[in-house]
Amino acid sequence: MHGEYKVPGGKLVIVDFDVEGGALRNVRVAGDFFLEPDEALDDLNAALDGLPAASDAKQIAAAITAGLRSDAVMLGFSADAIAVAVRRALTEATSWSDYDWEIVHDDAVPPRTHLALDEVLASRVGEGRRKPTLRFWEWDESAVVIGSFQSVKNEVDPEGAEKYGFEVVRRISGGGAMMMERGNVVTYSLYVPAELVQGMSFADSYAFLDDWVLQGLRALGIEATYQPLNDIASPLGKIGGAAQKRLGSGGVLHHVTMAYDLDNEKMLEVLRIGREKISDKGIASAAKRVDPLRSQTGLSRSAIIESLKQTFASLTGATAGTVSADELAEAEALVETKFATREWLYRVP
């Protein structure tokens, strides 16, 4: 068995081993991490040797921690990272380089169509009918996109939304409400096979799938970091948030919205952001939660997107693609039967 895991913002961990009699044998941990003293590597291998192959990530990490000498220092990786690498080996997970990737950046469609495309394209990737894809959204309408489990009345001020022309729509993933003002957000979706995040917890998969955009933002001069569970941040504040949905077809949808420019006064009129929502951010005002990309880079929105596309292409070898007429037709039909219906929007009133 062979498993690899690149720690987001850290180092590569590689684990090779055999499975004999339902247990891990001949374990060899390797990677470009830092570990002191040298003998601690033997501790890692010994801690894993003999573990049941059915062990989950928590059990594997606990065994590593228990078996590691007290003066050991791990830099760029952790017991949890090794556990992920082991689980990815056992579940025969894939890596970014195992796929031919596409980047889609088509013209704007209505907000509901964007949400329907997310479901259609993620499903098709899971079914093997589309290459794994990165899709950037274009906007010519403004919308408030609420999470799958949010209450409309708790999240949106109807008078504020109507005043500024924001349509309210519901996506298939969980998470919080996002104010998508046309021209002022950078939104993208990743459609990937479940095998790419096999062996990872949901939390691990968020960090794993966000790592490329952190590299892209750093290339623009932003000190971007991942903040569990689903935030992308910088020393100046939150930049954006991610949401994820795993579909029965075997596809995974991971989408991110980042603020390019933000009218805080407008946001507070359109969204209901309560004290509990901001209390865990260590701030006193919702208006101070987000620091947009425009102020941090001085670049146009289109220039930022082009730079991010180049980063993704350089990391994955992705080529340009487009949404097919057939895929768009399927999405538009799904708008009519699902995303445009009151039953869907008010599934949580």
Beta bridge partners of 225: 233
* β-strand partners of 134: 103, 190
Domain range list for the chain: 2-90, 96-345
Taking phi first (over 0 means left), then psi (-120 to 50 degrees means alpha), and beta for anything else, what does residue 282 get? left
Cα gap 112→335, rounded to integer Å: 6
Which 8-state DSSP code applies to residue 48?
H
Residue 285's pLDDT is what? 47
- Homologous superfamily in CATH for domain 96-345: Bira Bifunctional Protein; Domain 2 (3.30.930.10)
| Tokens found for residue 349 | 């009133």
Strands (DSSP E) contained in the chain are 2-6, 12-20, 23-31, 34-36, 73-75, 102-104, 133-136, 142-146, 166-170, 178-180, 185-193, 225-227, 231-234, 237-246, 251-259, 319-321
What's the pLDDT score for residue 292?
A: 94
Name the token pair of 82: 């090794």
The pTM of this model reads: 0.89
Alpha-carbon distance 300 to 279, whole Å? 32
Q: What is the pLDDT of residue 290?
A: 84
Residue with tokens 């949401």: 243
pLDDT of residue 291: 87
CATH class name, domain 2-90: alpha beta
At CB < 8 A and 24+ separation, what contacts does 210-213 make?
210/8, 210/242, 210/256, 211/6, 211/8, 211/9, 212/311, 212/312, 212/315, 212/316, 213/188, 213/256, 213/308, 213/311
Reference 177, options 164, 159, 161; nearest CA is 161
- Please give the Cα distance from 28 to 35 (Å, whole number): 15
Question: Starting from the edge strand earliest in sequence, which strands make up the sheet with 12-20, in order?
Answer: 2-6, 12-20, 23-31
Residue 203 is predicted with a pLDDT of 86
- pLDDT averages per 10-residue partition of the chain, 349 residues: 92 97 98 97 98 95 97 96 96 94 98 98 98 97 97 96 97 96 97 95 92 96 93 93 96 97 94 63 54 95 98 98 98 98 96
- Tally of helices (H runs) and strands (E runs) in the chain: 13, 16
Structure tokens, 45:
């291998």
